[in-house]
Amino acid sequence: MSDFLLFDSVSDFSEGVAMVCFNHHFGYIDQRGELVIAVTDASVDLAAAYGQSLALARAGTYYGYLNRRGDWAIPVQFRQAKTFSEGLAAVQGGTKYGFLNLLGEWVIEPQFDLAEGFSQGRAVVKVGDGYGFIDTQGNWVIAPTLTDAWSFAEGLAVVRQDQLYGYVHAQGTAAIAPQYQGAFNFSEGLARVRQGEQFGYIDRDGNLVIAATLDFASDFADGLAAVLREGKWGYIDRDGNLAIAPALDYAADFSEGLAAAQVEGCYGYINRQGDWLLPPTYTNAGRFCEGFARVQLNYRWGFIDRSGTPLMPHLPQDWLNQPAQP
């Protein structure tokens, strides 16, 4: 097959490979387009990108983890599971969540009602109606007394107390008192916050460095943040100045120097000056990861590089010719 838009679904590239699904069969291609991992269990109906050499996958209603050969490294047995990070993965064993190591051994026994993956040595967990944070040994760093909490980023985490959001340090001490109607992770030293119905940005000391006058906003990436003004998307720099005028129907975060953007229902890629490097021709488009971005046209997915050159898949005929799974 010569068409690079071949797949039912794909993931971003991670650890040198990307998940691809063709006729409900799952595998992973490398950056040459070669199928280097074929998932051996035909009952797999969902697979994610690799994280720490293991890929989360589902067969029926249960989850497990695949190794780099496409076999089960940790067998299917969990009702819910998250990708590995910092050597641990949050999984639901029975009715409670705990954490496994890369060998599939319980490091923190199931005891939580909800759990997120570890970030910067801390994980958000829920007990009853309250959220808190634990360390990698399962010790409480912040007791589960919060209304809501997000994972740590750049040393701070969003927490909610009653109806207001603020930030805490990894040691559990308050960093920025709850005062916002909405708050998001720090990225490149700034965090977007919502005051009333408008968005702005604060620094790590809680100073409002970009006034809350935006209809909507995203995190900073590659020095720019996508913002919504009067129904159109553009980008601002770290000083709050317009870097790319609002003229887009949608604008994604920059990654590897390019950002996916949409006009008139089609996606392409712009550079930091707002010029179209890859014209809007796709019905969907992802961010660039490890030199490639996933793109979709007519319900089929494939990959392009930063020049727009397609990554041509080189797939074994016996894999392509397998009967379609229901």
pLDDT at position 1 is 35
Average pLDDT, the chain: 96
Q: Which of 1-15, 49-63, 140-154, 232-246 has the lowest mean pLDDT?
A: 1-15
In the DSSP assignment, the letter for residue 253 is P
Could you tell me the pLDDT band of residue 165, with boundaries at 50, 70 and 90?
Answer: very high
Write 236-245 long-range contacts (CB < 8 A, 24+): 236/210, 238/188, 238/189, 238/190, 239/210, 240/201, 240/209, 240/210, 240/211, 243/272, 243/274, 244/270, 244/272, 244/273, 244/274, 245/274
**Above 80 in pLDDT, residue 116?**
yes
Give tens-digit pLDDT for 235-281: 999 999 999 999 999 999 999 999 999 999 999 999 999 999 999 99
Of all residues in the chain, the percent with pLDDT exceeding 70 is 99
Give tens-digit pLDDT for 27-45: 999 999 999 999 999 999 9
pLDDT at position 318 is 85
pLDDT at position 323 is 77
Burial class (CB in 10 A: 0-12, 13-18, 19+), 273: exposed
**Above 70 in pLDDT, residue 2?**
no
Q: pTM for this structure?
A: 0.94
Of all residues in the chain, the percent with pLDDT exceeding 90 is 95
- Domain boundaries of the chain, sorted by first residue: 1-72+303-326
Could you tell me the pLDDT band of residue 325, with boundaries at 50, 70 and 90?
Answer: low
pLDDT at position 18 is 98
Q: Which of 288, 293, 313 is nearest to 303 (CA)?
A: 293
* Strands (E) located in 147-196: 148-149, 156-161, 164-169, 174-180, 182-183, 191-195
pLDDT at position 295 is 97
